[in-house]
Amino acid sequence: MISASDGNKNTNAEPWGGFDDNLIQGSGSAVIDMENMDDTSGSSFEDMGEMHQRMKEEEEVAEEAAATEEDTGDDGEFLGMKGFKGQLGRQVADEVWQAGKRQASKAFNLYANIDILRPYFDVEPIQVRNRLIESMIPVRMIGFPQKVAGELYGPMMLVFTLVAILLHGMKTSGTVIREGTLMGTAIGTCFGYWLGVSSFIFFLAYLCNAQITMLQMLSLLGYGLFGHCVVLFVTYNVHFHWLFYVLWLVVGGVSTLRMVGVLISRTVGQTPRLILCGTLAILHMLFLLYLHFTYHKIVEGILDTLEGPNVPPIQRVARDLPDVATHLVNNTVKSLGISLQAQ
Amino acid sequence: MAEVDDSNKPLFAGLSDVSISEDIPVEGEITVPVGPSSQDDAYSTLDEPVKETILRDLKAVGKKFVHVMYPRKSSALLRDWDLWGPLLLCVTLALMLQGGSADSKEDGGPQFAEVFVIIWFGSVVITLNSKLLGGTISFFQSLCVLGYCILPLTVAMIVCRLVLLGGSGTVSFIVRLVMVVASFSWSTFASTAFLADSQPANRKALVVYPIFLFYFVIGWMILTFSPSS
C-alpha cells in the first residue's frame, strides 16, 4: 500500500527522479524500477542494457540518499511513525528489489554476455589478414613462449567458412538427397571439431603443464583451420588425387607445424611436448583427410543405388574412389546376380 | 501517506468557509482543446476496416521492397523495421526450394526447415557479429535489413524455376548462373549499403564478410536447385 501509492506519485512526477521526495526513498525507487522493467519486456529490447546500467547507478544513488537521510535525522513531525515505517519499507523494498533484480538479470543475460564477449572481437581487418597469413608460417622458436592472440572473430568466421565449403563440396559431389542432414552434419562437424579438440588439447595441456589458456587454444586451432579451408576449397573444385595429397601434406602440414611450434614453445620437457604436439598434429591432419573422404563414400553409395535419373544437373565426376574399385564392385555384384539367376 | 492527507486537509478545509457573493456569476464554458482528440482519431486504427489495415501494412512492406531494389541512402528500412517482409520472402524461398529434394524417398521435409533455419540462424549470427564488432545498429533492425535483402535472391529463384521449366541444359545453367550471381551481388551490395553506416569505418570488411558468406550459401542453394522430374 505504502509503496504502491508512493510509486504512483513518483511516476506522475518524473520517471526516474523519485529521490527528492522526503518520503521513503527505497520503496519509491524499487517500485518504479519494477514498473519500468515490465514495460520494457515488450518492444524496446534494445534499451535494456542501458537500463540495467542505469538501474545499477540508481541503486547506488538510492543508498547514498538513504545514508544522508539517516545522517540528517528525520523531521520532527515524522519522528515517531516515520522511523518505523521507513525501516519496514526499506526492508520490503530491498526484498522486492532483489527479486526484481534476479528476474531482470535473466532477461539481460543475453546482452551481458555480448558485453563479455566483445573484447575477443576487437580486431582490425589488417590484424585478421596478418594472423591468417601467420597461421601458414611455422615459427621455429622453442626457447621463448610464442605469442598467441586471444581473439575469436577470425576462428568463428573460419569455422563458418568451412561449413559453407563443406556444404559446397557435398552438393557438387551429388548429394541432393541427404541435404538436410548433411547441412546439420557440416555445422556439427566443424563446430564439434573446433570446440571439442580445443577443449581436449587444453585438457592435455593442463595435464602436461603447458602454459596456454582456453581462449588461446581456441584462437590457435581456429586459425589452424585456415589451411583446411584452402585445401578443401581447392580440392572440391579441382579433382586430382595427387593434388589433394600434395596440398594435404604442404598446406595442412604447414598450418599444423605452426600450431605445433607454438605449443612446443609453451611446454617444458620432452615427453609432454611429444604427447601434446603428437595428439594435436594427428587430430588436425586426420580431420582434413576425414573431411575430404568420409562424406564422399556415403555419396558414392547413394549414387550407385539411384543410378542415372536423379543426378543433379551439374554433377561432377566421382573423384575419390578409384574407378578400378567401383568397376570391380559393380562387376562382382553383376556376376553374383547372374549366378543367382542361373541357379 | 496518511501524513500527507492530514497536512492537506486544513488547506482545503478553509475553502468551505469562503463565501461567494450572489452577484458574481459562477458559470462559464468548459472547452476542451479539439486538436489532440482529432489527432487521436487520425491515428486510431480500431474502427477502420480490416482491409485497410492489411493494405496499409502491405504497402509498407512493398515500399521497403522498392528500397531494397533501389538501395539509396535511406533509413526507411532501419527506422520502422518489421519482420513481415523477411518472413514472407523466407517462406516463399523455402517453399520454392522445397521441390528440390522430392526425388528422395523422404518427403523433402528437411529442405523447407533447412532454408528457414539457414536464413534466420544466419541473420542472427551476422547481427550478433556486427554487435560484437561494435556496431550501433539494433538487433531487429539488422534482422529486418538482412531479411529484406533476400528479395533479389527470391526473384532469382523465381526466374530459375521458370528457366528450369524450359529444360536443364548448358544454356539454362548459364542463364541461372548469371541470374544468381547478379542477384547475389545485388543482395550483398544492398545490405552493405544499409548496414555499413552503423559500423565503425575501419571494420566494414569484417562485417561484410559474414554477410557475403550468408548470401553466397543461399545463392548456392538456389543455383544447385533442381526440381524433381
Distance from CA of A171 to the nearest CA of B (A): 8
CB contact under 8 A, A313 and B113: no
Q: Which of A280, A10, A332, A45 is nearest to B127 (CA)?
A: A45
Asked if pLDDT for residue B2 goes beyond 50, the answer is: no
B175-229 residue pLDDT tens: 889 999 999 999 998 888 888 777 877 888 888 899 999 999 889 888 887 766 4
Helices B109-132, A179-207: axis angle to 10 degrees equals 40
How many contacts does A have with B, using Cβ atoms within 8 A?
86
Question: How confident is the model at residue A107, as a pLDDT?
Answer: 65
Contact A278, A205 (CB under 8 A): no
Question: How confident is the model at residue A5, as a pLDDT?
Answer: 42
| Chain position carrying cell 596456454 | A212
Question: How confident is the model at residue A55, as a pLDDT?
Answer: 64
Q: Is the ipTM of this complex over 0.95?
A: no
Instruction: Give the 3-state secondary structure of A208-244.
Output: CCCCCCHHHHHHHHHHHHHHHHHHHHHHHHCCCHHHH
- Chain B's closest residue to A184, CA to CA, is B114
A264-294 residue pLDDT tens: 998 888 898 999 999 999 999 999 988 888 6
pLDDT band at B12 (very low <50, low <70, confident <90, very high): low
Question: How confident is the model at residue B47, as a pLDDT?
Answer: 78
Distance from CA of A31 to the nearest CA of B (A): 16
Asked if the C-beta of B62 comes within 8 angstroms of chain A's C-beta atoms, the answer is no
Helix (H, G, I), strand (E, B) or coil at B157: helix
Scan residues 89-148 of B and list those with Cβ closer than 8 Å to A.
100-101, 103-104, 109-111, 113-114, 118, 125, 128-129, 131-134, 138-140
Mean pLDDT of chain B: 78
CB contact under 8 A, B220 and A117: no
Question: How confident is the model at residue B182, as a pLDDT?
Answer: 93
Domain ranges of chain B: 55-64+75-223
Of the partner residues A124, A181, A312, the one whose CB lies closest to the CB of residue B226: A312
Contact B195, B131 (CB under 8 A): no
CB contact under 8 A, B132 and A157: no
The DSSP secondary-structure symbol of B72 reads: -
A290-307 residue pLDDT tens: 888 865 544 444 445 544
- B108-127 burial: b if 16+ Cβ within 10 Å, else e: bebbbebbbbbbbebbeebb
